[in-house]
Structure formats: C-alpha cells, structure tokens
Amino acid sequence: MSRALLSVSAATVRAGESTLLDGVDLDVRAGEVLAVVGPNGAGKSTLLSVVAGDRVPDAGTVTWTGTPLAAVRAAELARLRGVLLQENHVSFPFRVVDVVRMGRAPWRGTPAQDRDEQVVAGALDAADVTHLAARSYPTLSGGEKARASLARVLAQEPTLLLLDEPTAALDVRHQEHVLAQARTHSRAGDAVVVVLHDLALAAAWADRVLVLERGRAAGLGTPDQVLTSELLTRVYGHPIDVVPHPVTGGPLVLPRRGVEPTDAAVAPVAPAAAPAVEETAEEVAQEAEVVA
C-alpha cells in the first residue's frame, strides 16, 4: 500500500442547518487515482474543497503527511496541490499560453522558475491545447477552456492533483486523454483525486472509488468492491446493473432504461425480473465487444 499524503478524519462541514459532509474519513495516497462519485448534492465538491485546504471543516481533521493542513503556509500549499474547479472564469482576453503560465506563479523566486517555459510547453501538450496557445481564452469552447484550465494546473507541478469534474465538457477522446494524464501522474508518484459523474470512467481509470451519499461515505474501495448494483441502485435511487466488461473484465455500469427513478428507491428489482435483466446486460456486453 502506498503512503498517505493527505488524511481526512471525521470531517464534518455544515452550512446553516444543512450538513454537507458528515464524518468522512479518507486517505489520499501517493501513486493513486481516487475517484469521488455520488449524486448531485452528495458532498463531492465540498470534500474536494476540504482536501484542497480551501475550506476548514467544522469538525474533524485534515493533515498533510502528519502536519495539520491549516498549518501549511499558503505559498507551500500552492506548490503541493493544484485544483481544477468545475468552472473557470477568465474575463480578460488573456492568451491560452498566458493562462497556463499563471500555473507557474507558486514557483516564482525559486530555482524551479528557470524551467517555466519548458514546463508550460509540456503542460500545453499534455492537455492537447498547444494549437490553441495564441488564442484568446474567452473565445474558446467549453471543452477547450476545460483543457486549457487543466494545462494551467499541470504547469503548477503539484504533488496532489484535485480535479472537479474535469471531463464534464469533453468529447469521448478528450475524456480518455484527461484521465490518461491522471494515470500518468499517479504512476510518477503523484496523488490524483478526481470528481466524476460518469461511473464508467471511474470504473475504468480509478484505483479506488469513494461513493458519497448525503455527505457520508457509502463505500470506499476498488471499483470491483464498490461499484456494485446493490450499492449504486440504493445511492442513486435508480436501477443500475453492473456486469463484467467484455474486454477488461472490470465493472461495466449500466443504468436501466424505461424505469421510473422512484421505483428504485422504493424497492430493488424483483427476483422474477432477473432473467430479463441478465439477458439485457448480456446483449449490451456483446454489443460493447463488437464495438471494441
């Protein structure tokens, strides 16, 4: 097991009468991609802000290699962790390359500053936005902005990458590309925490998955351990089948069609329906094999 860079213990966050996080425990490990999934409002972005040190929990602790995260100086924290938010607003007509250069700000005045241009060029390439370097950021499409913002975070060269829905605005090719970059960084010894809505991407790319439900950890483990039909159907309130992927053998997550969402919350699928479900899942798996 790899070492924990950051540890969250019994983290609780409140907003007025609402509890956004409720006693969450989590170790963020070097060399690992950790996916955080869950329904809207489950606490995913709140947890990410706690892990980033941008929000102090109302109860519980967050430590970086044993040191309270709140005690880490802002300048050092900026070099340790990079955060990609769901939305990145740049109103001024900065060129993409200039936005990416902003990621080097934490290293200003250090020997690492000598590598700025080399790092920026590498980040542009890694995010597949080199051809957009001279473009004005506000003129980009949503997906292009997302990739340019990712390049800025990569240019920061953090040990911990925190990515909040980095694939939401991307086409299939760039979704795979972004998560492949996450895997590259984890293999280099960095830690990556990525919030995802696409359970198929979480199953394919994550080493571990944290499932949040109403601010609480409903499951934490490998995709095989956590992404089960029973757990996902309960958490999402919609029938979800999980079958082996025809190529990788990993979990293939299939929301069931033609079923009212409320039915799942009231009662799981009746045993009598199992044969039809298995037949449907098998057909989908066969179709996926043909496509692969």
Tell me the domain boundaries of the chain. Answer: 4-255
Query: What is 4-255's CATH number, 3.40.50.10470, 3.40.50.300, 3.40.1000.10, 3.30.1360.20?
Result: 3.40.50.300
Give the Cα-Cα-Cα angle 155, 161, 164 (nearest 5 degrees). Answer: 110
- 3-class secondary-structure state, position 275: helix
Other residues' Cβ atoms within 10 Å of the Cβ of residue 142: 11
Other residues' Cβ atoms within 10 Å of the Cβ of residue 130: 15
- 3-class secondary-structure state, position 110: coil
Q: What is the pLDDT along the chain (292 residues), one digit of tens a residue?
A: 678 999 999 999 999 999 999 999 999 999 999 999 999 999 999 999 999 999 999 999 999 999 999 999 999 999 999 999 987 777 789 999 999 999 999 999 999 999 999 999 999 999 999 999 999 999 999 999 999 999 999 999 999 999 999 999 999 999 999 999 999 999 999 999 999 999 999 999 999 999 999 999 999 999 999 999 999 999 999 999 999 999 999 999 999 988 776 554 444 443 333 333 344 444 444 444 433 3
pLDDT recorded at residue 256:
93
Q: 130 to each of 60, 122, 124, 289, how far by Cα in Å?
A: 42, 9, 5, 34
CA distance 206 to 8: 19
pLDDT recorded at residue 230:
97
Token pair recorded at residue 230: 């029973």
pLDDT recorded at residue 86:
85
Q: 39 to each of 115, 148, 202, how far by Cα in Å?
A: 41, 27, 14
pLDDT recorded at residue 261:
67
pLDDT recorded at residue 1:
62
Contacts of 65 (CB under 8 A, 6+ apart): 4, 5, 6
Exposure on the CB side of residue 188, measured as CA atoms within 13 A: 13
Predicted TM-score (pTM) of this structure: 0.86
The distance of Cα 265 from the centroid of its chain, to the nearest Å, equals 26
pLDDT recorded at residue 290:
39
What ranges make up the beta strands (E) of 100-180?
A: 160-164
CA distance 73 to 147: 29
